[in-house]
Structure 1
Amino acid sequence: MSAPLLSGKVFLLVTGASRGIGKQITESFATLLGNGSVVLLIARNENGLKETAQKLPKSLSVHTASMNLSVATADELKNVVRKALGSEGATQFEKAIIIHNAGSLGDVSKPTNDMKDLTTWRNYYDLNVFSPAILNGVFMEFFNEDTKVTRLVINITSLCGIQPSKSLAYYCTGKAAREMFFKVFALENPEVNVLNYSPGPVETDMQQVLRKNLGDADGKKMFNDFKASGSVLTTEQTVNRLIEILKLQNYKSGDHVDYYDK
């Protein structure tokens, strides 16, 4: 499967690339990139990043950065991107793609009335909302309009960003805030292609946590029923669907597109 947006000489940045959906996106997208493309992978797990990097085509220049995005400053992120760009800078590329995948569920055992710790809220939003906003600004500083590079921004969102679920207030509010940020970004930057992609129920560590620890009994049963009925998707399935969406381009920049959308 090919997609014009992924062809040619590309600068690709993926966060949360050490496992799960981020790892699969990296591996699947990398096979479509042109020779000489540069891939920058960011996550906390250094060993996981190395494992992902080793699976990529030798025709690509691959860089990894093990860092905690929730505390990374704009200057630190600039240094990481600048190093990956190399001496030729941003103008050497035909396309620039950033995929905001890194994120967390938060504590899924508590109802909203028990979520009273300010530090917990701040830490959650640092990683899931503030970090992608800052990184996106850094990325656009390098790949601004003057570079004449085609730009694609993908935010990995969730149905929970537009539909409330019991015991998932951290996750739902974080996804909603993050998605709205990228909708505003799309409105302000009509020359940038922006997609909020909801990958569906995918077999990842998050799904396992939901099946085991979700505080809402009905929700917990639903996620376990998904697993028992074989309805949980593989990472390959959801990433192939993402590539198909990018190929078809049947969305308006900034839209929320779900795996199951026609």
Structure 2
Amino acid sequence: MSSSQRADLGRALCIITGASRGFGRTVAREMSRLVKPGSAMVLTARSGEDLRALQAELAESEAGRAGLKVQCVPADLAQMEGLLSVVSEAEAAFSEHIDHVILVNNAASLGDVSRFTRTFTEMAEVDSYLSLNVSSCLCLTARILQALPSRPGLQRSIINITSLCALQPFCSWALYCTGKAAREMMFRVLAAEEPDLRVLSYSPGPLDTEMQAVARSSTADPDLRKTFSDMFAAGQLLTCEASCAKLMKLLLEDSFTSGAHIDVFGPDHCVP
């Protein structure tokens, strides 16, 4: 631990999207260990069953026994009703004792990677993808910032879970690359507009998750598909826990430039 690294994330309200599985679930677990007593979590995803299982797990943890309040919100964030339910629960969980609001925009979908860009001719299909992966992310962030405004003694951190795909083209991944690039610029603009916010786009790297399994089996580009398969066979995929540890370290050190893109492997990482 560096001398400048703080020991915890404060008495925090943590709002985590896509929290039911994979990286989002791991983020919820790790954050629960780093917040002070009196903290709260609002966890959202489409799967209510998986969310409730995570809620029960956290209730039995040391943080749960110390009074961490966990609220689950099964919701489709591509629909305004679902988005508003998350904001409502965040407002209800907020109190004057909270000194750190952390919004983790993790929810995302891979999109159809079995096709190349020239095949996406239907606007409704593209609009549906962008609604979940870009529009809902922007609107949720904006509504949380309005609902939980700045005040003395309150830090607000906005985390965008991003990808190398935000920076580099991946053949047959047009939707995913477009969504990640749009989100990245959106949060860079937010950081420029709101200097009191701490904004980070964190790329967790190639994770051993269900999404990666789909990528290995469905990616249309043969070279990219082989790259993913070779990484899996060689044991080069990261666990969610290993990558999340890097994110937690970044948040505890709190020395990143607001709006920055930081990859788990560092600035020279250049493979998926």
Same fold (TM over 0.5): yes
Is residue 62 from structure 1 mapped to residue 70 from structure 2 by the alignment?
yes
- The 2-side partners of 1:131 and 1:6 are apart by 29
Once the two structures are overlaid, the 10-residue window that deviates more, 189-198 or 68-77, is 68-77
Give the letter for the 2:243 counterpart.
Answer: T
Q: Name the residue aligned to 2:43.
A: 41
**Kept in 1: contact 2:73–2:85 (CA 8 A):** no
SS where residue 92 of structure 2 aligns?
Answer: helix
Aligned residue pairs: how many?
258
Q: Name the residue aligned to 1:172.
A: 177
- Alpha-carbon shift at residue 52 of structure 1 (Å): 1.3
| Unaligned stretches of 5+ residues in structure 1 | none
**Kept in 2: contact 1:5–1:246 (CA 8 A):** no
Q: Name the residue aligned to 2:189.
A: 184
Q: Name the residue aligned to 2:100.
A: 95
Once the two structures are overlaid, the 10-residue window that deviates more, 1-10 or 108-117, is 1-10
CA RMSD between the two structures = 1.7
Alignment of 1:1-262 (within 5 A): 4=6, 6-56=8-58, 57-58=63-64, 59-73=67-81, 75-85=84-94, 89=95, 91-146=96-151, 148-261=153-266
**Kept in 1: contact 2:207–2:237 (CA 8 A):** yes
| Unaligned stretches of 5+ residues in structure 2 | 268-272
**Kept in 1: contact 2:9–2:252 (CA 8 A):** no
Give the letter for the 2:79 counterpart.
Answer: V
- The 2-side partners of 1:153 and 1:51 are apart by 26
1:136-193 CA-to-partner distances (Å, cap 9, x unmatched) read 0111112212364111110000000010000000000000001111110010011110
The sequence identity of aligned pairs, in percent, is 36
**Kept in 1: contact 2:13–2:93 (CA 8 A):** no
- Alpha-carbon shift at residue 34 of structure 1 (Å): 0.6
Give the letter for the 1:49 counterpart.
Answer: L
Give the letter for the 1:249 counterpart.
Answer: D
- The 1-side partners of 2:237 and 2:85 are apart by 37
TM-score, length basis structure 2:
0.90
**Kept in 2: contact 1:160–1:176 (CA 8 A):** yes
Query: Is the alpha carbon distance of 1:221 and 1:118 closer, same or farther for their aligned partners in structure 2, counting shifts above 3 Å?
Result: same
SS where residue 65 of structure 1 aligns?
Answer: strand
Q: Name the residue aligned to 2:270.
A: none
Give the letter for the 2:177 counterpart.
Answer: C
- Alpha-carbon shift at residue 243 of structure 1 (Å): 1.2
- The 1-side partners of 2:45 and 2:164 are apart by 24
- Alpha-carbon shift at residue 7 of structure 1 (Å): 2.8
- The 1-side partners of 2:77 and 2:7 are apart by 27
SS where residue 146 of structure 1 aligns?
Answer: coil
TM-score, length basis structure 1:
0.94
